[in-house]
Chain A
Amino acid sequence: MEANTRSTGRLPAAFLTPGSSSFMDFLSEHQPEILPGNRQLPPTQGVIEAPHGTTIVAATFPGGVVLAGDRRATMGNVIAQRDIEKVFPADEYSAVGIAGTAGLAVEMVKLFQLELEHFEKVEGAQLSLEGKANRLSTMIRSNLGMAMQGLAVVPLFAGYDVDRGRGRIFSYDVTGGRSEEHNYAATGSGSIFARGAMKKLFRDDLSEAEATTLVVQALYDAADDDSATGGPDVARRIYPIITVITDDGFRRLTETEASEIARSILERRLEQPDGPRAALL
């Protein structure tokens, strides 16, 4: 390519060509080789070993939505990282949590954040929450080739819908299939256990504080039964990442706030290892 951004010369023609407000569309025309989906993989045998992230959970409450994730990344039966971050702000009013191949997922989040920001700057307006969710769908679909070789990325997307005035959750499958989840959702290897916990504990009228407790309870239960999900690590002061999105925008709970929730749950679990009980009838 004759012109690139590394030289300080004139802006290449592609930069000044009127076109789409999408950064990904721009890249696919100007420098397609740096888009993650365009990478060619050599034929491989078996599954490629790379660190995997595990459980992400989300729950709505009146006025917003909570998205949280554990901190463990595993490679086979080895703990690859104890303090990995898998929940990120996507923009002011949404967040994305990722389970699956950590390296690809982090790259996908970076591109997704940029895609939303780029649109906002070019158009002078934010995408609708639905539009953001669809954009993420496209990105996962472009990763399908790698997903088939075991490098799947499965995100959970949550945001505050400014137009409708409520929190919403979208879950995805490896093919980019998108579905809106009501009340609560989970993804990753520990998600079945997390979903079970939330199913019993979720109520329509949770406060923000109760919703954050709910997701940490769910993560605890996921870590309890799934070896790839990490529980709160009190000794190393590594707690789940908890984010809250409301009318006021995105907020990540501080380490102190997260540790308070985690510690109070741990204390209760010392007396009742299986956690809170839902009523039988």
Chain B
Amino acid sequence: MSTPFYVSPQQAMADRAEYARKGIARGRSLVVLQFADGIVFVGENPSRALHKFSEIYDRIGFAAAGKYNEYENLRIGGVRYADLRGYTYDRDDVTARGLANVYAQTLGTIFSSAAEKPYEVELVVAEVGETPEGDQIYRLPHDGSIVDEHGSVAVGGNAEQISSYLDQRHQEGMTLAEALKLAVQALSRDTNGSEREIPAERLEVAVLDRTRPQKRKFKRISGGQLSRLLDADAAGGDAEGASEDDAE
């Protein structure tokens, strides 16, 4: 007669968290930053078709690191949630806070249910406001907790190191080019501290731009526009130098 194998709840949760974190760490990190006119999403993504960032609703964007099929599933769930809510009530009743809550509940239930394997994803839900003060950025780790972020946030394997780099350098009211350059610098730093070059064609960039006249503020930046923005920085040297050059 064998005795049932006992695992303490603490141990079970720690194992699950460990499992999810390892899965997320295999993917590349991405960053989400506030700039003067909105919120910019920057990540390294060799694929042109499989996106890490996407539009959820008028002012709401979505970013995810980790396992593609799992966050894609959550993304579509979010689009369905937002569209249904906007259809039953009004477009203004769809908010990032509501969406983040639903995601947190979903991730939390999956994480603590013994029947399911935890999702290896970390999400960011961002909503651009009428003014920078109205911007909302929520980070949702794999366990269903929810963190209200300001200024800048990084998710993925190398997130802690990138976050601290961004925290030191991110300022309010940066231009899009400045924010983009800072993001690329942060992403270029490896875990061992060395820097590597990320070519423009491996970057995925999207913005929620509050100055867009359309109701839908999400916009991808690629090709010519992306290289122009990156070049605008390169000409000016470091970030401070660039802003001085622009002022001339």
Q: Which residue numbers of A lie inside 8 Å of B, CB to CB?
A: 5, 8-11, 15-16, 18, 23, 26-27, 30-31, 34, 110-111, 114, 117-118, 121-122, 124
Nearest CB on A from B145, distance (A):
15
Nearest CB on B from A176, distance (A):
22
Residue picked from A16, A118, A121, most chain B C-beta under 10 Å: A121
Supply 17 further A-B pairs (C-beta < 8 A) apart from A8-B102, A31-B84.
Answer: A5-B84, A8-B105, A10-B102, A10-B108, A11-B103, A11-B106, A15-B80, A16-B73, A16-B74, A16-B106, A23-B80, A30-B80, A34-B87, A111-B87, A118-B83, A124-B49, A124-B54
Within B75-124, the residues touching A (CB, 8 Å) are: 76-81, 83-88, 98, 101-103, 105-106, 108-109
CA–CA, A115 to B55, complex, Å? 15
Q: Which residues of A are found within 8 Å of B88, using beta-carbon distances?
A: 5, 34
Number of interface residues of B (CB under 8 A): 28
Q: Which residues of A are found within 8 Å of B63, using beta-carbon distances?
A: none
Q: Mark B42-84, 1 if CB is under 8 A from A, else 0.
A: 0000000101001110000000000000000110111111011
B106 engages A10 (CB within 8 Å)? yes
Q: Closest 9 interchain pairs by CB?
A: A15-B77, A10-B105, A11-B77, A10-B106, A16-B77, A10-B109, A11-B106, A8-B101, A15-B80
Of the A-B pairs whose beta carbons lie under 8 Å apart in the complex, a sample of 6, sorted by A's number, is A5-B85, A8-B101, A11-B103, A27-B84, A34-B88, A121-B54
Q: Which residues of B are found within 8 Å of A118, using beta-carbon distances?
A: 79-80, 83
Residue picked from B55, B87, B98, B108, most chain A C-beta under 10 Å: B87
A122 engages B106 (CB within 8 Å)? no
B81 engages A5 (CB within 8 Å)? yes
Our pick among A15, A121, A124 for the contact of B56 (Cβ within 8 Å) is A121
**Interface residues of chain A: helix, strand, loop or mixed (majority):** helix
Residue picked from A15, A27, A114, A122, most chain B C-beta under 10 Å: A15
Query: Known contacts being A10-B109, A124-B51, is A114 close to B102, with CB within 8 Å?
Result: no
Q: Which residues of A are found within 8 Å of B55, using beta-carbon distances?
A: 121
Nearest CB on A from B32, distance (A):
19
B83 engages A8 (CB within 8 Å)? no
Query: Known contacts being A16-B74, A114-B86, A121-B54, is A9 close to B79, with CB within 8 Å?
Result: no
**Interface residues of chain B: helix, strand, loop or mixed (majority):** helix
Nearest CB on B from A107, distance (A):
10
Query: Known contacts being A16-B73, A121-B56, A122-B76, is A11 close to B102, with CB within 8 Å?
Result: yes
Our pick among A5, A18, A30, A121 for the contact of B79 (Cβ within 8 Å) is A121
Q: Which residues of A are found within 8 Å of B103, using beta-carbon distances?
A: 11
A110 engages B54 (CB within 8 Å)? no
Q: Which residues of A are found within 8 Å of B108, using beta-carbon distances?
A: 10
CA–CA, A34 to B83, complex, Å? 13
B83 engages A114 (CB within 8 Å)? yes
B81 engages A110 (CB within 8 Å)? no
**CB-based nearest A residue for B218:** A121
Nearest CB on A from B94, distance (A):
10
Q: Which residues of B are found within 8 Å of A26, using beta-carbon distances?
A: 80, 84
Nearest CB on A from B92, distance (A):
14
CA–CA, A21 to B74, complex, Å? 14
Q: Which residues of B are found within 8 Å of A34, using beta-carbon distances?
A: 87-88
Q: Which residues of A are found within 8 Å of B78, using beta-carbon distances?
A: 11
CA–CA, A9 to B110, complex, Å? 12
CA–CA, A118 to B51, complex, Å? 16
Nearest CB on B from A3, distance (A):
11
CA–CA, A106 to B108, complex, Å? 39
CA–CA, A16 to B118, complex, Å? 15
A114 engages B87 (CB within 8 Å)? yes
B87 engages A110 (CB within 8 Å)? yes
Within B124-139, the residues touching A (CB, 8 Å) are: none
**CB-based nearest A residue for B97:** A8
**CB-based nearest B residue for A9:** B105
B81 engages A11 (CB within 8 Å)? yes
Nearest CB on A from B55, distance (A):
5
**CB-based nearest A residue for B107:** A10
